[in-house]
Amino acid sequence: MPHKFFFCCFVLLIHHAWGQKSPAQLLLDKSIHYHDPKNNWPRFADSLFVVQESPGKAVRNTRMYINQKKSLFSHSQYRNDTLFTRIISDNECSYRMNEVDISVPEAEKLNLTCDRSKMLRNYYTFLYGLPMKLNDPGTLIDPEVTHGKFNRQEADILKVHYDPSVGKDTWYFYFARENHALIGYRFYHDETKNDGEYIELEGERLIQGIKIPAIRTWFVNKDDRLLGKDILQ
């Protein structure tokens, strides 16, 4: 009998905890379960190869390595025929040129700065860590879910602001209604001016048990102008 009593109490506590969650948080939980059902993102450690296409520009090939547990990030990209690699380990920056270490002063002469390296780390870990990254500290999610269309698809929508110490933009995240997959997002610097961009997501790659969107296509909010496409290999 005591075992049954404690089990019933446990079940009631779970239901109470879920009952306290907002509709937005419940939707986010479902989307995270779809993309990362085994909670692998906190220990993610793998390379991502991305082909970047922009109108009127040469195709760029980028290799990133993200190791969440070791706080390690690297970003490798060619400039003409030279391969430059930025490495951040525990917030310390280092650099390589054609796989050979170079000093920080040498790197700075080549416009390889630590501020830029950290920006790239934050940018890519945010994009490729979505929707899990929406649980990060400083993320302020409006409690209600709205509904609409994104890229001609019915979607549930989350509106997100950030603590000023994290960011100033307003974001909207769009989720497929049938399986809660993230299908796109949009951000504004000033929503009244309809500035900013929106990103359509297409396809998936399964990497370390996480369903990561394969193609990100970027557009300008004001005129739907194509900015570029990132293709995960």
- DSSP state at residue 68: T
| pLDDT given at position 17 | 47
Residue 6 has pLDDT above 90, yes or no: no
List residues bridging with 47 in a β-sheet. 65
Each residue's pLDDT tens digit, 46-65: 999 999 999 999 999 999 99
Q: How confident is the model at residue 80 (pLDDT cuts 50, 70, 90)?
A: confident
State the Cα angle at 75 between 73 and 79, rounded to 5°: 165
Residue 114 has pLDDT above 80, yes or no: yes
Which residues neighbour 143 within 8 Å (Cβ) at sequence distance 6 or greater?
22, 23, 24, 25
Pairing status of strand 153-162 against strand 100-102: unpaired
Each residue's pLDDT tens digit, 129-162: 999 999 999 999 999 999 999 999 999 999 999 9
Give the pTM: 0.88
Q: Do 182 and 35 touch, CB atoms closer than 8 A?
A: yes
Tokens of 10: 């446990």
List residues bridging with 177 in a β-sheet. none
CATH of the domain spanning 23-232: 2.50.20
